[in-house]
Amino acid sequence: MRFIKCKFSIVALLFFLAFNPENCFSDQNDVYIAKISSSINPGVVDYIKGGIQKASEHNASCIIIEIDTPGGLAESMREIVMAILGSKVPVVVYVSPSGARAASAGVMITMAAHIAAMAPGTNIGAAHPVGAGGKEIGETISEKLINDMVAHAKSIAEKRGRNAVWVEKAIRESVSVTETEALEENVIDIIANDLDDLINKINGRRIEDKWILKLDNANKIILKETLRTKILKTISDPNIAYILMMIGLAGLYFELSQPGAVFPGVIGAISLILAFFAFQTLPVNYAGFLLIILSIIFFIMEMKITSYGLLSIAGIASLLLGSLMLFESSAPGLRLSWTVFVPTVVIVSAFFVAVAGFVFKAQFSKPKTGAKGLVGEIGVAKTDIKPEGKVFVHGELWNATSKDIIEQGKKVRVVKLVGLVLEVEPID
């Protein structure tokens, strides 16, 4: 009887395991590795969610996310956190290499991992939220936002069994700690020197009574970014977004000044659309954007109105201030680089000032064609003018009249044009 019960228990156990694959161990020991070394933006979201899905589909042992980020967008961070919490495979977040950090949004992503690890010489923290342009938010809105983020962070920390008190301080007080302090504060689980050391230390680790990591001779698979992810990440860079905006404005200017050129207008429209998409994913200060638009308007007005350079000076000032205000963030990855900002402002300003100079010169230069272009021109009398005759002026033979008698071969100056007859005078 006992033998029958034992056989029944074994069969029941096998049946339970067969229909609960999440409690089984994968025959494979593949370790998928994703790397984040930028701000958290929609491109990174696409990359991480795709990597977690791929690891789940191939029944990988786990996915390791190497992270080095100054922070990023709250919505993008929430999407990544949700993907980690809903992952069907264990997710390990590793702040690496030495010198890297998991700041702001990176804190939440690290806390959401099944296993959180850091390399020596790294730090984590400073998760206080900031508004567009990196500036402080209004007191009422700030309080609501901070309370919401604290509640979200504490729920994640409690779910993973980590220090919820420290997470709250990281958000409210911008606290930041080293890897050693993070381990002591129960913020992370492991300190690992490198990727191989990390895999060795998590090998055999039990996670939430669901998985036991079997990583002997682990097969490391680096997740590559798709073309879509690369495009999203590229245009989400503030420097690329800024350049796209300037190209778009320049293209539309050329199309409006020279209708029918088509190519500048097409390139300008595409660039502006991509720039506007990037602005939705970046902390943009729209006062800066409007100042840049105003600068272009000033430059165009300089070509239409004689302001003796005042509009050009106003345009340069607006462009300079707008560019400075456009991406003013506390995070380096979300600021406009000086190596992009300075050359762009100089080139654009120099171009419009040069064009305005040519227009100003043309407005005050002597006409070269038409009736006004002939006045003052020097010619030669081809016949005697008594008082009518013919003169050769400006490469053409004209009928001419004069108040004075002019002999053939003498030089004459055009006084005015009456119909198709020139009135000339002799040159002594």
Residues 79-107: tens digit of each pLDDT: 999 999 999 999 999 999 999 999 988 99
Distance CA 299, CA 308 (A): 12
Tokens of 244: 């796209």
383: DSSP letter: S
Q: Which residues contact 153 (CB under 8 A, 6 or more apart)?
A: 107, 108, 111, 127, 164, 167, 168, 170, 171
- What residues are annotated to the active site? 104, 144
- Report residue 320 CA to chain centroid gap: 18
Give yes or no for a contact between 47 and 34, defined as CB atoms under 8 angstroms apart: yes
Distance CA 385, CA 335 (A): 76
Q: Which residues contact 374 (CB under 8 A, 6 or more apart)?
A: 393, 394, 414, 417, 422
Mean residue pLDDT of the chain comes to 80
Question: Between helices 310-326 and 286-304, what is the axis angle to 10°?
Answer: 160
Q: Nearest Cα to 128, choosing from 137, 120, 118? A: 137
User: 56-77 pLDDT, tens per residue?
Assistant: 999 999 999 999 998 877 888 9
Report pTM: 0.63
Name residue 96's amino acid.
Answer: S
pLDDT value for 271: 87
The tens-digit pLDDT sequence of the chain (428 residues) is: 444 444 445 445 444 444 444 444 444 689 999 999 888 888 888 899 999 999 999 999 999 999 999 887 788 899 999 999 999 999 999 999 999 999 988 999 999 999 999 999 999 998 776 544 444 444 555 677 788 888 988 999 999 999 999 999 998 888 999 999 999 999 999 999 999 999 999 999 998 778 889 888 889 999 988 887 777 777 777 888 888 888 888 787 777 666 677 787 888 888 888 888 777 667 677 788 888 888 888 877 876 776 667 887 888 888 888 888 877 655 555 667 778 878 888 887 787 777 666 666 665 555 555 566 677 788 888 888 888 899 898 778 888 898 888 888 888 888 888 778 888 888 87
Distance CA 226, CA 117 (A): 27
Distance CA 298, CA 277 (A): 26
Question: Between helices 286-304 and 338-364, what is the axis angle to 10°?
Answer: 20
User: 138-186 pLDDT, tens per residue?
Assistant: 455 567 778 888 898 899 999 999 999 999 999 888 899 999 999 999 9
Q: Which residues contact 81 (CB under 8 A, 6 or more apart)?
A: 108, 109, 112, 156
Which residue shows structure tokens 């004075």? 404
Give yes or no for a contact between 315 and 298, defined as CB atoms under 8 angstroms apart: yes
The three-class DSSP label of residue 399 is strand
Q: Which residues contact 215 (CB under 8 A, 6 or more apart)?
A: 29, 31, 61, 62, 199, 200, 202, 203, 204
